[in-house]
Every structure is written in C-alpha cells, then in structure tokens.
Amino acid sequence: MAHRAGINRNYVGLLERAANSPTLDTIERLAQELAVDPVRFFCPSSEHSAQLAA
C-alpha cells in the first residue's frame, strides 16, 4: 500500500505506531489507496465499528 501511495514504507510504519503525524497530503493518498473517505481517519474507533456493522 505504501508503494502504491508513493509513501515510504518506514514512514507508514511510524504512522501506524503513532510515532509520527501525517500531513493532509499523506492522509489523502492513504485514503485513496484504501478507497475510503479521508474523514474516516478521524472517527473514534467505536463510531467506526458502528459504521461497519450498519
């Protein structure tokens, strides 16, 4: 996914571990690769789970 989004895979790992904060551009690129609305990155986990269950 990192390669397809044109993002360094080590940087994505830092984001996954919350060791770094993404830029808006990075959020947009990752959302595009995941085929989700970038707003979903800002939903609390419980809200996200409820959306998946619907």
Task: Write down the pLDDT at residue 25.
Answer: 95
Domain boundaries, the chain: 2-53
1-54 pLDDT, tens digit per residue, is: 889 999 999 999 999 999 999 999 999 999 999 999 999 888 877 655 555 555
pLDDT (0 to 100) of residue 42: 86
| Buried/exposed code over 23-49 (b: 16+ C-beta within 10 A; e: otherwise) | eeebbebbbeeeeeeeeeeeeeeeeee
Burial (Cβ within 10 Å: 0-12, 13-18, ≥19) of residue 5: middle
